Structure 1
Amino acid sequence: MTTPRRRADAVDNRDRIIKAARAALANSDELRLNAVAKAAGVGQGTLYRHFPTREDLLAEVYRRDVDALVDAAATLAAEHDPLTALARWFDRIADYARVKRGVLSAVDAGVWQGLSADSHGPIGDAMTALLDAGKAEGTLRADADARDVMLLMTGLTRLTAAEWEPRAGRLLDILLDGLRTKP
């Protein structure tokens, strides 16, 4: 059985809705569906046809961010030395964590556990590849693994909106410094 094809305008509407929701989550912990529809340039009916519940929309924003984060790891590894690739990926992690913080506050615990379980594997695999490249080059600690880094990064999801700008980048810099091998 094949998946039904969506009309181009429906795909475009869906993408605009997701982008508007992501932008709203990056700027606030509250997601107002009427504001998302307005920002996306669609009516409430269009929004609800694509995403019957708020949780459906939040889950799709989260899934797309996970996919983009995983894809970025391979691209960065191909374009940069391992330490630079990891540092630039951490920048993407910060952006992801900002949205994840918004999703975490907006989604009920049961939905969140399912989303989180689905994403840790691909993100962990991408992080392992970046860490392994740095270990092979001798620029990253041999004893650190993806789970260590993921546990340390969970603090990003706890930052308030006001703390984000002054702290997120600095926390990732501290983490990256801790992963480097010492001369």
Structure 2
Amino acid sequence: MTSNGGGTTRGRRSLRADAQRNEDRLLEAAAAAFAREGAGASVKDIARAAGVGVGTLYRRFPSKEVLIEAIYRHEVQRLCESAPHLAATLPPVDALRTWMEDFIDFMMAKDGMADALRVVLTDDSEKLHTRALLADAVAHLLAATGESAPERPHVDAEVVLMALGGISLMASGEGRRDLATRLVDLLLHGVVGT
């Protein structure tokens, strides 16, 4: 799906450093806009928020569907790459909590792009591959918490990922991001006994 480090996705070549920064800013601004406004988010507003012209946006992403697919891939890559960094820089439970909150934000942004993503992401094997990558990130963080110690029952990373998906659906359906944080705390308590 993605190559490591270079920010490229399948079938795309590496960018110059300044072009990569522009692309990263565009993807971050677009993800935030779609989370707030849904698929009707203004491309002009996204370009303005990223500090680039609309022409730059359209050169990189010729349609809104291409932009949405790129956001999805960028966010999955960011989540997967963040797990080892969080595990190395934060106490284990804080690292897991931070990753879970980031995942909820990703899912809520994804919710705003849901209709377009259904059109773009039609390959079931790719969806399963993405789920496996995210589960690996969760497994890395769970291992750091010591949840696999003999006195604790095994916690399956895919089950934790599914629970996070359910949390994001409930919170999004209620329009309450604060509910997601409360449910993440409850899930953490069940997983690591916080």
Q: What interval of TM-score do these two structures reach, taking the shorter chain for normalisation?
A: 0.7 to 0.9
Partner residue of 1:170? 182
- TM-score normalised by L of structure 2: 0.76
Question: In the alignment, is residue 122 of structure 1 matched against residue 133 of structure 2?
Answer: yes
Q: Secondary structure at the match of 1:160?
A: helix
Q: What is the CA-CA distance between 1:74 and the residue it aligns to?
A: 0.8
Q: What is the CA-CA distance between 1:57 and the residue it aligns to?
A: 0.9
User: Unaligned stretches of 5+ in structure 1?
Assistant: none
Q: What is the CA-CA distance between 1:172 and the residue it aligns to?
A: 0.6
Separation in structure 1 between the aligned mates of residue 16 and residue 143 of structure 2, nearest angstrom: 42
Amino acid aligned to 1:11: Q
Q: What is the CA-CA distance between 1:24 and the residue it aligns to?
A: 0.5
Equivalent residues in 2 for 1:84-103, closer than 5 Å? 84-103=94-113
Partner residue of 1:27? 36
Equivalent residues of 1:100, 1:157 under 8 A apart: no
Q: Quote the RMSD (CA, aligned, Å).
A: 2.8
User: Unaligned stretches of 5+ in structure 2?
Assistant: 1-11
| More displaced 10-residue stretch of structure 1: 170-179 or 72-81 | 72-81
Separation in structure 1 between the aligned mates of residue 193 and residue 16 of structure 2, nearest angstrom: 52
Divergent runs of 4+, >6 A? none
Equivalent residues of 1:104, 1:112 under 8 A apart: no
Aligned mate of 1:69, from 63, 79, 102: 79
Amino acid aligned to 2:160: V
Question: In the alignment, is residue 59 of structure 1 matched against residue 69 of structure 2?
Answer: yes
Matched length: 178
Separation in structure 1 between the aligned mates of residue 13 and residue 143 of structure 2, nearest angstrom: 40
| More displaced 10-residue stretch of structure 1: 56-65 or 173-182 | 173-182
